[in-house]
Amino acid sequence: MAKVRGRAWAWAWAWAWAAVPACGPGSMAERDGDAATDVTAEADADEEIGADADADGETEAEAEAAGEDGTTEDAGRRPYGDPCTNGDECVGRFCIDASLDPSFVGGYCSALFCDVTFPGACGTEALCFDTEVYPPLCAKTCETDADCRPPDYVCVGTCIPDDFTAPLDRPGILTGAETEVTGFLAAVDDDRMMRRVRVLAGEEAWDGPTGPVTIRSRADAHPDHELAADYLEAELTGLGWTVERLEFGAGLTNLEAEIPGTDAGLAPVLVTAHWDSTATDTTGWDAAADAAPGAVDNASGVAVALEVATILADAGTTPPARTVRIVLFDAEETGLQGSEDFVAGLTGDIACAVNTDMIGWTTEPTAGRFWYVFDEGSRPWAELGVEAIDLFVPGARPLTTDYGDAGYSDSASFWAAGRCAVGVNCWPRELSNHSVDDTSAAFEPIFHDVARASIAVAAGWMYGGGGL
């Protein structure tokens, strides 16, 4: 998954961040200008909060503000998430107001520069939330939307502005009794998906045409990059699919395979994922020589696409009315190059594409949840897809959003061209992402639910989307 692009309001935060030289806990440097001084004071306070947290997650600042019964007294210190107009109201914290980000309606008491690796960085009433779009901040913990400030804030484990999420209606096209979809999901094989992840991540050898070989990296500068493309083509052709290698750029390759539907008049469904990898977050990493396992990012998504291909190739699977295309993109990690090239050459109508990217883990503050991302032009198909998730994978818990930078990936190339797509991903990223530590050991149980959710979207479209 490519790193997300900043929203427009992130520039204001970046300006404030850049105005703050690095300081150690408790230090204070001279600043020019009130704004820089206020930001720095809050940042220093935040560092002290992270550094002084005790074993129970309570900070010294919270302990001082607490009464004998352990409750926090109202001494001008507003809790995380409370409305504010300036930092003085938050006391030792930061007020995110409209001048920094208008989506934090009415101001939001928080703390910037918290440490996502330290569980007690935000005490007991908040979590450190790093969306990669702005500096990490302390966001109030919650269990339901009622714990936040309706209607402007919603609960995703923490209270965040509601413009991060967008509701989707359920169109009532599916009933849950569709045996084709039920059978499709019953055929999903977790062991088969994980075997493919391990092969792509270089943890298990591929028995290639010339004998067992190991794919150490799928980065485009690495010699094993071509080997990975060969493996993917072999997997698909071995299932009986006809595969087309779509060359672009310098040594880059998209792979496309198609199974015709029973009704040629219906636009095809696309199941997509990017197959390249990177480890740029590992210090000293050499793209031409070093490993880049990319197990979660994005062997996980490729395994989902190959699983759909495998089930469709089974003689016992009911042939769908719609043609299905499996498309595996190269060079996502270097700027969505593969999907941009593919979409630019796309002719004719498509129904919609479901793109799966990075679904092997779950992170705070959205633990146990995953993002289901769409744009307005894709809404009807997105609604049908999320209906399929609700009915056929009830254990999955999607967060629906039209915020395109939520797990920025190849779906954005479709939206930019006015084509229908939804993205399925787990975001924010784990620290192992884009590193040599992105191995199958990083996978968490949520993978199985999210993989099935993505497959349910595709199956719901294949078998239930005739009226769209």
* CB neighbour list of residue 52: distance below 8 Å, 6 or more residues apart: 59, 60, 61
Contact yes or no for 277/219 (Cβ under 8 A): yes
Q: Tell me which residue has tokens 């699977």.
A: 317
In the chain, the amino acid numbered 35 is: A
Cα distances from 326 to residues 54, 164, 181, 301, 310, in angstroms, run: 51, 30, 18, 12, 11
DSSP state letters, 345-378: T--S---EEEEE---S---TTSTT-EEEEE-GGG
Tell me the three state secondary structure of residue 292: strand
Q: What is the pTM assigned to this prediction?
A: 0.85
**384 neighbors 452 (Cβ within 8 angstroms):** no
- The rounded distance, in Å, linking the Cα atoms of 136 and 112 is 6
Q: Note whether 103 and 9 are within 8 A (CB).
A: yes
Specify whether the CB–CB gap between 242 and 230 falls below 8 A: no
d(CA 242, CA 233): 9
For residues 222 and 289, give the distance between their C-alpha atoms in angstroms, rounded to a whole number.
6
Residue 158: phi and psi, rounded to 5, are -130, 165
Round to whole Å and give the CA distance between 463 and 468.
Answer: 12
| Nearest residue to 2 (alpha-carbon basis) of 321, 310, 379, 329 | 329
pLDDT in tens, the chain (468 residues): 887 655 544 434 444 444 433 322 222 222 233 333 343 344 444 444 333 333 333 343 343 333 333 334 344 568 899 999 888 888 878 898 888 888 889 999 998 888 888 878 898 889 998 877 677 889 999 999 999 999 999 998 899 898 889 999 999 999 999 999 999 999 999 999 999 999 999 999 999 999 999 999 999 999 999 999 999 999 999 999 999 999 999 999 999 999 999 999 999 999 999 999 999 999 999 999 999 999 999 999 999 999 999 999 999 999 999 999 999 999 999 999 999 999 999 999 999 999 999 999 988 778 899 999 999 999 999 999 999 999 999 999 999 999 888 889 999 999 999 999 999 999 888 889 999 999 999 999 999 999 999 999 999 999 998 778
Neighbours of 198 (CB within 10 A): 19
**Among 332, 319, 301, 313, CA closest to 236:** 313
Identify the structural domains of the chain with CATH numbers, from first to last: 10-163 (no CATH), 179-464 (3.40.630.10)
